[in-house]
Structure 1
Amino acid sequence: MVFTVHGDPPMSWLVPSFPRELAFVALGGGFPESPAYAAKAAEMMAARSGPFYVMMQAEGDNQKIWPAAQEVLGRYGITFNPEDCVKYRAAVGRNDHPYQLCPVQPPRTGSK
């Protein structure tokens, strides 16, 4: 399962490049995250044994990207270690839009 956060440009264009078995959930991307949306994201995570990742842009200042992602994921009880992130190349035409995947720790039992 992969969570996307703070994609600029949006990161959904990368989804077809991944195995069909992966579920993707956008967090903090501007879509209204109602309690029902949060419950569905938690339900999806509970139904899977992992691994779990966060996908975010890799261009720009990681000292801003990582804390912003940690804040969004923290609302769901999800954490990650920036040292574990791996950057990948991606492009639309001649425009590079690298991304990074970081393994995440699911919420502990009893978390939101």
Structure 2
Amino acid sequence: MLSLSVLLSEAQRKLMPETVVPGTVPTKSPTAMQLTRELLKEKGIAGLYKGLGATLLRDVPFSIIYFPLFANLNTLGKRGAEGPAPFYVSFLAGCLAGSTAAVAVNPVDGEI
């Protein structure tokens, strides 16, 4: 099976000339819509969703770890019962939660 990047590069090769003749205007890169149409013609609707399982296998656990951890860390930095935490606390909470979630899902991400 071909990956999405291979399919997109094949579609790009079909839409763009391989060589540019000196003195001519180079062709513009294909748009996302052109690539999508080409992919739909060649692989159908299933071609657009190839890799969805791998993406969900990575993104769902990441979100399950990130959002609760961020909320708890951000709450720890509040100055009082009312109002939001200062920016730097939210920023650090986001960095720590994002790093933790990324490290946790890294084994899954590497297998994809």
Which structure's relative contact order is higher, taking Cα pairs within 8 Å and 6+ residues apart? Answer: 1
In terms of fraction of residues, the more strand-rich structure is 1
Both structures adopt the same fold (TM-score exceeding 0.5): no
In terms of fraction of residues, the more helix-rich structure is 2
Please state which band the TM-score falls in when normalised by the shorter chain: under 0.3
Which is greater in Rg?
2
TM-score, length basis structure 2: 0.20
